[in-house]
Amino acid sequence: MWALLLLVTSLLLPSRAAFAASPEGVEVKPLRNYPALDRGSTGTGSLTLTNKTATVQNISMGVETFAVTNENYDYSFGTSEEVNWVVFNEPSFGLQPNQTKTVTYSIAVPGDAAAGGHYFSLLTTIDPPKDAPGVTEIRRVASLLYLEVSGSITKKSSLMSFNVPWFSMQQTVPADIQLSNNGSSHTRARVLVEGRSWLSLLIRQPEQQYGLVEGTVLPATVRKLSTDIQLPKSPGIYKVSAKYSPNQGGKSEVTKTIMYAPVWFIALLGITLAGITVTAFRFLRSKTKESTVT
């Protein structure tokens, strides 16, 4: 998920961090942004904050770097000298109930910055009341900044795997797609899932789109994108392919076979087979009686 709420709770003990979702609070847009700047240049951006509560919210703005820890893209946050590249023009302020405010920030890229991707979390911290007794709750909403510094950038992403069940009784089938990025900057991947039944393949009918999944893949990571693909209503054996065209050019494709047999089809098939079996048994028994009489 792109918007994270960091809940820090302290009760007569040092604070402990845990991720949590809040049904109300301060809404932050956009959840992510993708600026591209040259070395030694500057740029600007903005966030739109809306107070969804009935009370005044005291806001502090901050910056951290972010990375991912696994293929499911669980985030980790930290700090480095790069956080000084991003500065908010108004780092703290009060937000009235139902008020919407645009907060601007500047990005200054050093002349010796490495070309490629640099990743920041723009943090909106909702400060607790100073006189809050007992439990202190600090909520932080993160908007992710994917900065690409121009220069000698390597683009090298690929489709690693496409996994679906070989048999399904449901028309909607879960699918997992793995993408790797061995380049020096992030890539915004788009994987198309297409297919057709074996019968359609024999009579050379065109493929149909069964699904589409998109996501940003950070450099030096593998990302798993989970989605659902929608098969046609007709039972059958389907050839299904995940197709990816990376930014560096070329195409990659992984093909799987799915047997789709809904419950009604299995029941109908069972009744048909039972009918054939009974008919064959009666036929053989009648032939046996005729042989005996003869």
pLDDT tens, residue by residue, 277-292 = 877 777 677 767 666 6
What per-residue confidence (pLDDT) applies to 131? 62
Residue 133 lies in a domain: yes
Residue 279 lies in a domain: no
Same domain for 255 and 236, yes or no, is: yes
Residue 272 lies in a domain: no
| Cα–Cα distance, 34 to 187 (Å, whole number) | 11
Predicted confidence (pLDDT) per residue in 157-166, tens digit: 999 999 999 9
Residue 140 lies in a domain: yes
Q: What is the extent of the structural domain holding 190?
A: 157-261
Same domain for 140 and 161, yes or no, is: no
What per-residue confidence (pLDDT) applies to 24? 61
State which residues of the chain have pLDDT below 50. Answer: 1-23
What per-residue confidence (pLDDT) applies to 60? 95
What per-residue confidence (pLDDT) applies to 135? 59
What per-residue confidence (pLDDT) applies to 266? 81
Same domain for 161 and 85, yes or no, is: no
What per-residue confidence (pLDDT) applies to 23? 40
Same domain for 87 and 41, yes or no, is: yes
Same domain for 207 and 251, yes or no, is: yes
pTM above 0.85, yes or no: no
- Which CATH number goes with the domain that contains 257? 2.60.40.10
